[in-house]
Structure 1
């Protein structure tokens, strides 16, 4: 920085030099001898419409900040940090099944997600929150002698530096501050603070100067650790007099600092930080706070009294002259009265500088962001200054380790600590997992997008990542439940089935087994149609291989190839095969005698022995054995069973064992079950076709149960779309209950899609769902809010009620709830999910 520029902005060269001398863990030693402690505060995920949660967070903030009184100064810094997409997707890639036929499509998807996110958003970002307190400050020391010694040392060091002499960093300087740091950590523990490591500390110092750049975390860290003076190693100039341009080799970014200069008289529910995190571009926030002395001539009480008397005289003069009293004078008197009341009640008083900053690749883009930011703040009565002459001052004043001094007079706000906490610090809007597949964006609006979900996606820069398997893993910080099951609820036509198929497709690429139960029998036809088109055009070989890898199983008795697909003697072994065979026969032969039961159990045992010997057998061989019996009733039952197994839906379960049965070991299976005629309730009066369908349902249930618990070390995902069809009969309900109970101990994840929230609320099963995607069902808004444990208010009803196509409320395993817009990033893959066909040309 040239001396001319320094003088133009009224800054000393020394001020703009790097002030950091050394760091150790979360401690910072500055060149003036002051020491600061930095603490990371995890983002407080408060639902955007959860007013009760926000009030509770403000209470927590108040209690923790009140403990900072002993430090006098503090800094609260919210920093946007680029998401390391490469690291995120590398971790996800470690779980991809690279030895399967899905590997090529998985590579295509992972690479495509990174490219699409960067192209559409820029670099996705997260917010980091830190609080910094001085353990020893050159600016504020209660010990006059210590202050003088620090000031003398600082003057001596500056003189030595001018002469070319430099003092080395004191050895083990941090040991002196161990007890003070422990006390500070305890004072702030209510905010769940964590200490920084030395590397995190160095990187945070550097981050102040590289906001807006594309950077590599590791490279920046190495440079700073190599030489502390590299912390501020960027070229800084002023563009158009009032905008900072920062350059680093061939990269450049423009940055603007906007101090808050006006806030509403009633700061209740101001929630500045909550507004900022809802913007679709990153905005940094730095607060330099200082607890004001209350008593004494220079204390806030004395100043307030003097200002009150002055304003009273102004009001009296205006009244005597017949002038209408200035509204600002009246409001100022009221504010001072409020301040006096807070002082009398012992309320801490804070003065602070609150500065916002944001970056862009061009001045034009910066201006657009400025308009959006100021409009957003104006909606809550907050105004900022362009601070054209103070940009460099604000750049350096917002560095870590700075505090307010008597020289800082501009842009300062004064208020009680409780009013200060109305800013609602440390929040962010997040839902989903840190590592996972990108499935959409957080929607920050309450309004309806009128079905224009693309605009909702473009309005948000907050991606939603999902890895359903994380629900079952230990040591995931912040996770509130280990329940692996997922419910996707909502009316037809809202995008429910699209999301279910999207989740199924992405997760089927992992090292898992996946099963999709398709009651509408629409997937095979659509997938094969897409495959035929791709083959004809010689396109997208990755998707071709993926489709061919799926084991499609159709429960259609009219196709001889499907006969025996659920034959227990073919697809099961041992006790499992015997038990299911007995259950199926018993369901067909209602009111049979003990001798008949003995007959078919003996026949099953005989046929199982033949299978063990290597013979190709099936359930019809059991019936043949029964027909050889010396007991007439057993022979008759065998003849009846053999007859029923032909030309009916029972042929799916009773076969000669020659056809391929459903495969418990297949990586990806789609099971089509259309054609089942299930009764609403099982009674003796049910029709024959319904009774036969129940037998098939037993087979499905047994397969699903064993699919989930066959191997504890292999995760399994079972998707049941249109689950209301299962819920219509006790046999179907039993199947769902069995699958849910397999659950966590067997690494089995059930994804249940259904229209009504009533289908996921049952009195006879308390397993529940750990994750919920709630699409709109207009007749069940209050019921869904109850299920999501969201308070019913006009705001929350709008929040859910205004969701449109492709939008839902996502309730994750961390207890977070946000409105999201589902995004299928790959149109070429989305064709698989296009099951609504029409011959009309105008729709």
Structure 2
């Protein structure tokens, strides 16, 4: 939360800080002071074979050996310094770089730095409550011409603690913190692990609400050596079988099963030529008290037992197993070695995790599967960070009615404004009328423009009035009137006539849409009169007065507040599944007004480029269903990306967004519960997931209220539960109708 505060900008910082403090207090009550985070570290033993054998090379190695002996002697008996030969370090660094390049083709990795090693060591020696990102390990060193010198005290400093060894656990005192730690080793694998489907590392993140450390020491056994070991084992089992036969006894079931397994393994190794792996698998569990540690250890034992894996807590070996967790340490004991194939290594799920969102920013909720907090930085995508799969700032909120789509959209926009953004919200259903009252602590920063059919508002949405650039006004007038009249640009007779009339109105000193009718009448041809009659038929509706003016209106809509809400009363929006040909007149006018306001939003995003802006289009499906509306939306989205603005599309139908141009320009995606199978498949396709996978379909269908399938700018997908925390936000953003109060005494 401290890092989140650092991202807040603007004049609402004090309000944002208050909200962050409240969120932090609520989260501490729910999950404690710290959140469990899992990371994977992988180490390789480097072998230097980059030089050809020569007399010079042999002499160099002899000299290095003598120097190493002298250095070790000095370190042990006469000095407090660790000395490393620079040429040897460079050789190892070269091999390490080559290996990292090779591994990075298959895994997303980064090389460890001194801070990583320091954190690992201090964590193992009892440190708790330290944020990984904020940890720093001070390791001064002196680099000379031939070698590098490090003080031994600085090197072992992360291991400062008092360790008391008991029979099956350790008591580690680090500073003023005391922790109880036990170690469990993998003893037997008594059944087959399904692969895929039993990724232990991944599922234990979801299973436990406490941290678990796992050490996996792996040695590769080549196929030839593996076959030799398997065949030797096969001979031992056959000897047991023959001995039982000669003694007139039956072979035990265990020996028979082992023979079958060995035969299968021998055939597999002989056919695939794969290697085997010699592993030791140790788990570390800690607690603040003995009882807590014991309870957690029992949970881990039960979890692994359900996977047909047996763990043991060796008697008197805790300190040795503790040392096995040190980076680059050797295997402590060979009593619990297992020989496994690559299937077992893969089934562990190494590297598998479920990350959502950012490390800091706006707290919006938690990952339903892992319980981890989810933070969002709405303006981050445009920074072009390495690893992101999109640089689009726009977002989509999908789902049927009642799933929490509008509430979650309101919550994210509100917090984005607190963190420094400016928002323009198109509210065609007038659901945000009470925001200024319910959010009274920031009512001076909320501007609600309620466009009614009153005479004072006549012409406010006329393209020639609402836009300042005459060329843009002319283009919007063409789009509006062609949409209302159904005249296509391919109509060789009617379109040029309408286009000419609009051009003449643009040249007028006081242009307005009503003057288009006058220009058509002046033309006097049957086609012009027909178009004029058609346009005039729309002006009879009460709220059409907003759209048509004679050019005398000079009052503009101001968008100078942090939150600007435009509401149009009496709009009649068409159903999402209606085609344009089925729209009634009121619906045509309503969609045309939405198109005009969305075009007006282009002026809004062209304001201060240094400030992140949000254009929130509620009920976006209403104008995404028509060609003009979709074209305007695409223009808004494309220009928004360069102007540091995101367009938030709230729609019921994912099919509106499946056009590749639209899809590729949307960054974050939020999909709420849906029950229609076609809509579910469209949504999964929009997310880039397998639309035919029944588990994916069931997951989307079974989401609870406030839960959504979320895809962040890194491409991660998971189920997010929006957490409003504060009751005043729930009251302000809840769009449900008030419940009837029934009953009595």
Tell me whether the two structures share a fold, i.e. TM-score over 0.5.
Answer: yes
Please provide the CA RMSD for this pair.
4.5
What is the rounded CA distance, in whole Å, between the counterparts of 1:433 and 1:824 in structure 2? 18
> How many residues get paired?
701
What is the rounded CA distance, in whole Å, between the counterparts of 2:246 and 2:63 in structure 1? 56
Shift of 1:767: 5.0
| Preserved CA contact (<8 Å) 1:342 1:416 | no
| Preserved CA contact (<8 Å) 1:563 1:659 | no
What is the rounded CA distance, in whole Å, between the counterparts of 2:101 and 2:422 in structure 1? 47
| Preserved CA contact (<8 Å) 1:741 1:767 | no
| Preserved CA contact (<8 Å) 2:426 2:565 | yes
1:335 alignment counterpart: 261
Shift of 1:806: 2.0
| Preserved CA contact (<8 Å) 1:682 1:730 | no
CA 1:303–1:815: 2 relative to 1, 3 Å: same
Task: Map 1:39-118; keep pairs closer than 5 Å.
Answer: 85-87=1-3, 89-93=4-8, 96=9, 98-99=10-11, 102-118=12-28
What is the rounded CA distance, in whole Å, between the counterparts of 1:794 and 1:158 in structure 2? 62
2:238 alignment counterpart: 312
1:129 alignment counterpart: 40
1:816 alignment counterpart: 716
2:219 is aligned, of 285, 290, 295, to 290
Stretch moving more, 767-776 or 223-232: 223-232
CA 1:321–1:809: 2 relative to 1, 3 Å: farther
CA 1:322–1:701: 2 relative to 1, 3 Å: same
Shift of 1:329: 1.9
1:263 alignment counterpart: 189
**What do the CA deviations read for 1:19-56 (whole angstroms, capped 9, x no partner)?**
xxxxxxxxxxxxxxxxxxxxxxxxxxxxxxxxxxxxxx
| Preserved CA contact (<8 Å) 2:463 2:477 | yes
Whether 1:469 and 2:370 are equivalent positions in the alignment is no
| Preserved CA contact (<8 Å) 2:71 2:83 | no
| Preserved CA contact (<8 Å) 2:169 2:180 | yes
Shift of 1:554: 2.0
| Preserved CA contact (<8 Å) 1:565 1:661 | yes
Classify the secondary structure of the residue corresponding to 2:184.
strand
Task: Map 1:649-798; keep pairs closer than 5 Å.
Answer: 649-654=543-548, 661-677=556-572, 689-690=586-587, 692-693=589-590, 696-710=593-607, 712-727=609-624, 729=626, 732-762=629-659, 769-780=666-677, 781-791=680-690, 792-798=692-698
What is the rounded CA distance, in whole Å, between the counterparts of 1:797 and 1:586 in structure 2? 40
Whether 1:551 and 2:551 are equivalent positions in the alignment is no
**What do the CA deviations read for 1:710-764 (whole angstroms, capped 9, x no partner)?**
5555433222223333345555445434434434233332222222333333589
Task: Map 1:439-458; keep pairs closer than 5 Å.
Answer: 439-444=364-369
| Preserved CA contact (<8 Å) 1:495 1:807 | yes
Shift of 1:264: 4.3
Shift of 1:773: 1.5
Task: Map 1:563-582; keep pairs closer than 5 Å.
Answer: 563-568=458-463, 570-575=465-470, 576-577=472-473, 580=476
| Preserved CA contact (<8 Å) 1:268 1:419 | no
Q: So what's the TM-score if we normalise by structure 1?
A: 0.72
CA 1:322–1:183: 2 relative to 1, 3 Å: same
Gaps of at least 5 residues in structure 1 are 1-84, 445-459, 531-542, 609-617
| Preserved CA contact (<8 Å) 2:429 2:571 | no
Whether 1:354 and 2:281 are equivalent positions in the alignment is yes
1:536 alignment counterpart: none
1:827 is aligned, of 710, 727, 730, to 727
What is the rounded CA distance, in whole Å, between the counterparts of 1:624 and 1:200 in structure 2? 70
| Preserved CA contact (<8 Å) 1:709 1:746 | yes
What is the rounded CA distance, in whole Å, between the counterparts of 1:348 and 1:682 in structure 2? 64
| Preserved CA contact (<8 Å) 1:256 1:357 | yes
1:839 alignment counterpart: 740
Shift of 1:589: 9.5
CA 1:265–1:643: 2 relative to 1, 3 Å: closer
Shift of 1:594: 9.3
Classify the secondary structure of the residue corresponding to 1:468.
coil
Shift of 1:819: 2.1
Shift of 1:577: 4.3
| Preserved CA contact (<8 Å) 1:554 1:672 | yes
| Preserved CA contact (<8 Å) 1:776 1:800 | yes
Classify the secondary structure of the residue corresponding to 2:22.
helix
2:145 alignment counterpart: none
Shift of 1:309: 2.5
Task: Map 1:16-415; keep pairs closer than 5 Å.
Answer: 85-87=1-3, 89-93=4-8, 96=9, 98-99=10-11, 102-122=12-32, 123-135=34-46, 165=79, 168-170=82-84, 172=86, 174-190=89-105, 191-214=107-130, 221-222=137-138, 227-238=154-165, 241-269=167-195, 270-279=198-207, 280-292=209-221, 301-318=227-244, 325-341=251-267, 343-344=269-270, 345-404=272-331, 408-415=333-340
Whether 1:437 and 2:375 are equivalent positions in the alignment is no
Stretch moving more, 255-264 or 650-659: 650-659
Gaps of at least 5 residues in structure 2 are 142-152, 488-493
1:517 alignment counterpart: 426
1:489 is aligned, of 356, 380, 398, to 398
Classify the secondary structure of the residue corresponding to 2:7.
helix
CA 1:804–1:747: 2 relative to 1, 3 Å: same
2:144 alignment counterpart: none
Stretch moving more, 702-711 or 485-494: 702-711
Q: So what's the TM-score if we normalise by structure 2?
A: 0.80
CA 1:801–1:385: 2 relative to 1, 3 Å: farther
Stretch moving more, 643-652 or 752-761: 643-652
| Preserved CA contact (<8 Å) 2:118 2:137 | yes
Shift of 1:154: 9.0
